Structure formats: C-alpha cells, structure tokens
A and B are shown apart, each in its own frame.
Chain A
C-alpha cells in the first residue's frame, strides 16, 4: 500500500517533469541570435530560415547566416523597410509588421488569413501583402485571397484591392481575386494579378486614384515582379494556361510584350524576386518539406542553381 503511493508520486513527478519540460523547451528560443539586419557589410540577401528572419552575404549565400528571433511566414525588404507577415500566434491573430533595419516595429496591421506574398517598393515607402482567406493553393478550386497595401509615409491603409474600381467593369465581379503586388518606382503605380472566371489578368493599379486597369492580351501573368530597371516583369506562367499543371518562371518585356521562359524546368509557385537586373530568385519546396532558394538568369540562358539552401522568401538588400 505504501509502495503503491510512492510509485504513484514518483511517476507523477517524472511525467509532469517530461510534460512541462517539453512544453517549456518548445516555447523557448535558442541562444545565439542577431538583433538587427546588417546593412554595411557588403551586399546581402534577406531570407527566412525555418521561419526566422535571416541574412546571408550575397557573395557567399551558402555561408554563415545571421538569424534573428523575428518570426515571419513571409518577408521582403527594400531601403531599410522590412515587411514581415507574422504567423498566427498562440493567442494572437496574424499580422503585418513593418520593421526598420534594427527590427524596431514601426507599424502593425492585424490580418485574417494565411500569409502568402509580400512586397516593399524600392524606396521602402509602400508595403503590399496577399493572404489566403480560403484554401492554400492557387491551383485548387475555390481559393480566395485578400490583398492590401499600406503607405508607410501617409499611413493610408487599403485593406483590400476590392475597394478599387476596375476599368471596363461596371461592377467588380463577385468571384474576383487579387494577388501578388509589385510596385513601380513612383510609389503610386503597381502591378498585380486579378482573376475572374477562368481568366488571370495582369493588372496595372493606381494607388492614389484607387483604380485598376486589366492589361488585355496578357493572360496568365501571376505573381508579377517588376525588374529594378522597371522594364520587365518576372512572373509565374501557368503551363498551357492551366494552373493545375503547374507554373514556369517567365519574364515579360513590358515594351515589346515578348515572353521569355527561364531555364528553370520545375514548377514554381512563388512571387519571383529580382536579385539584380539579370537574376531572378524564388523558393522551391523539396520532397522533405524544406524550401531552398534558387536563382536563374533572367534572359532564359544558363540553368537554375541553389542560391540559399534551406531558406525561403528571398529579398536583395543594398
């Protein structure tokens, strides 16, 4: 009888120890971490390593990595402005956090949905994001997205591009979805994708006028990304116009409308990022679930190479 009680107490203490220990360790953060994004040690790339905001040297992208404690589902950065789509927390909904290069929080916007894309304009002023409200994939049926834009200078917040008028349409179609904003250099105009029915248009937007213009004849341009020189758009192009067959990274020349398919032969479901005027980077998920950041020349030549292993969400830093 006495033994029985003793065994019970010992087992209770041991099991409670395991349970509490595991829980606390899951919540704890590992020791060595960086607390800012270095800007002055040569050109760098920002990526997410296992969901944590990190930077690597552009000259040695596979080399040592500065990993911060900042958790993001998706990140982008330009001119010292970081846009971090924070994951849904334990007791907190997800949010957009606009950070400076010391990771100081400048502004947060509460968001409902699953973080999918984000971009910052080259000047660091405009921030855009896309969330999945329904579904997780652009290939599946019945997905729905929500895309917003924040002007960090004036504080103007557009929660959804559905608030904008669409040229040539009396009324915005009920089934329309918007995703993948990319800004031009004037911090007002932008490109994005709009879908309605079977069509996926490239649209040109005017933030001040709250107006969207579908660019006719340019179907199947998804997740556009404007080149630093503003002449070309890298995007994912549905194979045979059918997203269920996957996407190829392609580049569209805005002046000539010539489309170049890049050397990457696998399907890419990402908004490409221009590392410079000649190189496009994107994430690809491996079979084991981890992502690698790949790069490929923007003119269709060469071949795709791993740029940053075990990372996602690439963005070039100064």
Chain B
C-alpha cells in the first residue's frame, strides 16, 4: 500500500463531475478487483503452490514493486509525447490483463514468472499517468480535488473487493489458483472494454510536468527526508512475507489467506483519517515513529507467545495501524520540507527511494529466511526497525518549522 497523492480531498461529492471521470473510476474499480485478487493470493501461489524458496519469492516481490515505480515515469513520458492518453492507458490495462493468463502459462519457471509479473506491473505503471491526465483534462480545475477523490474512492472499493472475490473463487473451485487467474483475467478484460467504450480521449496538451530533479537532493532538509524514507523502506518487509509467516504459523487454510490483506486494509481505512488528524495535532514524526513501533511488535509477534485467533487479530490490527500511522503521515511530514514548486517531484523522489529500498529489503529478508531461519529473519527485521526508528528520530527530530 502506498499513498499516490498528497492532497486527499475531504469530500467525494460527485455532483457536476463529468462522465469521463466516472468512466475512468469504473475502469479503475474493475481493474483493481482484478489485480488485487491476484496480489492477495500471489505469495501463497508462489511459495506454497510452486514451492519457490523464500529467497526467490523475495526477489520477485521486490521486482514487482520496483517495476511499478520506474515504469510510472515511462508511462507519463509516453502519454505526453504522443498525446494519445486513452491508447497508452488502454495498452497498460491490456498488458495487465494478458499477464493474468501469463501466470497460467508461466508454470513454475522463475524466469517466466518474473517476466509475467513485471509485465503486469509495467501495465500498472504505464496507465497511471495518462489516466490521471485524462481526469485532469476532463475536469475544471476548481473541481479537481473532488474528481480525484471520487476516482480514488472507486479505486479503493475495487482494491477492497478484490481479495474477497479471490477468497470466493478459492472456496468455489477447490482452491484452484488457476481459477483465480482466469477470473481475474475475465474481469480485467471487462475493464479494458469499459475503457474502450465509455472513456473519451482528450488529446489536448497538458502543462508539462517537471521531470524528477535530482538537484532537489542538494537541499539538506530534503536529503534527510529521502534518506529517512529510504531507510524505513529498507527495514519494512513485504506484506506477503508477513501474511505467509502467519499462514504457516497457524496452518491457515488457503481460502482464508486473502482475508489477512482485507483485514489490514480495513483497519487502515478506519484509522487513516483519525491518526492523520492526531498527527497534525501532536506532531507527525511522533505518530509515524509510533507506527514503526507497531511494526516492531508485529515482527516480534510472528514468532511470539501468542497463537490462534488472538495472534491473527492482533497482527492484522497492528499492521493496519502501522500503515495508517505512516503511509500518509510520511508525505504530510515531507510536504512542508519541499519547495512548493517541486512538491510533486519531491514526493515522486521519496516514493522512488522507498520502492528501491523495498526491493532491497525483500531480497535480504528472503535470503535471511532461507539461509538462517524465519525466526531469526523476523527478529533481525524487528531490530532493524528499531535502529531505523532511532536514526529517523535523530535525522528529523530537531527540525522545527
């Protein structure tokens, strides 16, 4: 999970928004059901279905996340150069749809799987920028906040429903992963169709966005934030690992696995706004550090004294709270440090740094799990979080506006 926009609009009132925004929202909703249902079972499919080693899984998981970030920039560039935003977005949605079938065809070949998963993520990366441009061009500037609000809300509904659909398919198909992929493919194709039929292209040129300026890194305040964000990214292991360890510990049946993701997003959705408000009052850094405190407890609990339902509920709760404390709050913390003119760029820089760090953390955690032990790996991760927490406090603590 990550927050893709800094300014979350307060209300999502749909009055007076253009049909194009709703069409794009519908496409996103449908596509997110499709992609999140696969994302929810992928760790299980790779590690238990195909018996990939934890190290191999870590590599794939890291690439999965890294590829999106890098290709988002490519998508924006391509859409602006050609001014055919609908076509570029449609191409992105199409690649992701075909990739679902690719998962079936790839079998257990690590190379083929890596290729297919990267293609899926590439599709997501490609479509994001042209889609957002279409929303912008279809909306008067005064309504932009609401337009994006409605779009992201529909997107969120899809992301929430996806794992539940996956769970239903697993239950109905005698736990066939193939059935999940085929259903996901059908839903994705429907999404492309809705895009093709209902979304109008807006070819007029948009104000050019600035490219990422590394010069921004010369500002020590920015450097500190990017450094802290990357460091924290480096000590955060992927959701898949956390859910896999829980599944293993509790011998959880496959069908329940997607519920871990659903539960975490539910907690996140419930707590994100109140914790964000709390952060504004008591200090963003404090709330963010508390979030990483919750994360430390999650890692320790994975091989801790609790078991059964109390363990599952507590981990999902703390994990959701961790996201609620950190995800938006980091951006809010970074915002004031970035010059107004370069804010978007700066945030992209932070997100890129985090995604690259995530790639590293996934690979490292996978290796530690495999060649040491999962207990040692999670405890090392817990220690690493505490160290990163202290470093972050030292880096950002004294800075007062």
Contacts and interface: CB of A to CB of B under 8 A. Distances in A.
Q: A7, A18, A19, A141 — which one has the most chain B CB atoms within 10 A of its CB? A: A19
Contacts of B183: 19, 22-23
Nearest to B165: A19
Q: A22, A24, A110 — which one has the most chain B CB atoms within 10 A of its CB? A: A22
For this complex, into which size category does the number of interface residues on chain B fall?
A: 35 or more
A110 B198 CA distance: 52
A141 B173 contact: no
A50 to B, nearest CB: 13
Contacts of B108: 289
A110 B178 CA distance: 27
Given A23-B169, A26-B174, A89-B175, A11 B253 contact: no
A134 B373 contact: yes
A88 B248 CA distance: 11
Contact of B250 (A27, A89, A112): A112
A192 B250 CA distance: 26
Contacts of B310: none
Contacts of A112: 250-251
B179 A4 contact: no
Interface in B359-382: 370-374
B370 A27 contact: no
Contact of A136 (B51, B174, B187, B255): B51
A7 B197 CA distance: 9
A90 B373 contact: no
B278 interface: no
Nearest to A21: B182
Contacts of A215: none
Nearest to B374: A134
B190 A12 contact: yes
A93 B51 contact: no
| Majority DSSP secondary structure for residues of B touching A | helix
Contacts of B251: 88, 93-94, 110-113
Interface string A1-39: 000100110011001101100111011000000000000
B253 A89 contact: yes
B171 A91 contact: yes
Interface in A267-283: none
For this complex, into which size category does the number of interface residues on chain A fall?
A: 20 to 34
B176 A88 contact: no
Given A18-B182, A113-B251, A23 B172 contact: yes
Interface in B241-258: 248, 250-256
A16 B182 CA distance: 11
A8 B193 contact: yes
Nearest to B176: A26
B373 A142 contact: yes
Interface string B322-361: 0000000000000000000000000000000000000000
Given A4-B198, A27-B174, A90 B253 contact: yes
A258 interface: no
A286 interface: no
Contacts of A91: 170-171, 253, 255-256
Contacts of B248: 133-134
B255 A19 contact: no
Nearest to A8: B197
A253 B142 CA distance: 88
B194 interface: yes
Contacts of B176: 23, 26-27
Contacts of B59: none
Contact of A18 (B175, B186, B253, B370): B186
Contact of A19 (B182, B198, B372): B182
Contacts of A22: 173, 178-179, 182-183
B24 interface: no
Nearest to B198: A4
Contacts of A90: 170-171, 173-175, 253-255
Nearest to A113: B251
B364 to A, nearest CB: 16
Contacts of B189: 11, 15
Interface string B105-127: 00010000000000000000000
Contacts of A18: 182, 186
Interface in B147-175: 169-175
B178 A142 contact: no
Interface of B: 51, 53, 108, 169-176, 178-179, 182-183, 186-187, 189-190, 193-194, 197-198, 248, 250-256, 370-374
- The 5 A-B residue pairs whose C-beta atoms are closest, nearest first, are A112-B251, A26-B176, A26-B173, A91-B255, A19-B186
13 contacts: A16-B186, A19-B186, A23-B176, A23-B183, A27-B176, A89-B174, A89-B254, A90-B254, A91-B171, A91-B255, A93-B251, A133-B248, A142-B372
